[in-house]
Amino acid sequence: MRRLLHTSLALSAAGLISLTLTTSAHADGQDVTIYTSNRAGVATFKPYGEHLLVNDLVGDGWSAVARLEVQGYGTYYYWDRQGAQYPALDIDLDFPEGHTVTLTAFLGKWAGTPDGGIDWSSYDHLLDSVHTTT
């Protein structure tokens, strides 16, 4: 009986350690990148330091647009209107740790508002969006 109790306690402890390791390993957000459907634009979110990179890759008159949804904070749109000849637009953000982030890339023609002029069908239809945590 005593041996059964020790075995049971050891298995419970091993299960708890396994659960703890799995939970803490998921807490660190990874960099995520997503392209538009025709790969003419790309967006990358880097949780360490909260940097969003938006890059127009093709000089075709369309801008790359990143939609960043941050759990508990809302939805934001960032446009790279500088053109394909320039490096990626690097936006330094500031969000508290531990929030889920969803990133989608679109193309658009600036219409004076954050989400005006976006071609809503230009997102990557295979991935749709990518997720990480801050």
For the chain, the average pLDDT equals 82
Lowest mean pLDDT among 45-54, 77-86, 123-132: 123-132
Residue 28's pLDDT is what? 63
Res 30 pLDDT > 90: yes
Res 6 pLDDT > 90: no
Res 26 pLDDT > 50: no
Angle at 108 between CA 102 and CA 110, to 5 degrees: 115
Share of the chain above pLDDT 70, in %: 79
CB contact at 8 A, 40 and 57: yes
Higher-confidence residue of 18 and 75: namely 75
Residue 3's pLDDT is what? 42
CA distance 66 to 34: 9
| Residue 7 burial class via C-beta count within 10 angstroms: exposed 0-12, middle 13-18, buried 19 and up | exposed
Reported as type and span, the H/E element at residue 6 is helix 2-27
What pTM was estimated for this model as a whole? Answer: 0.77
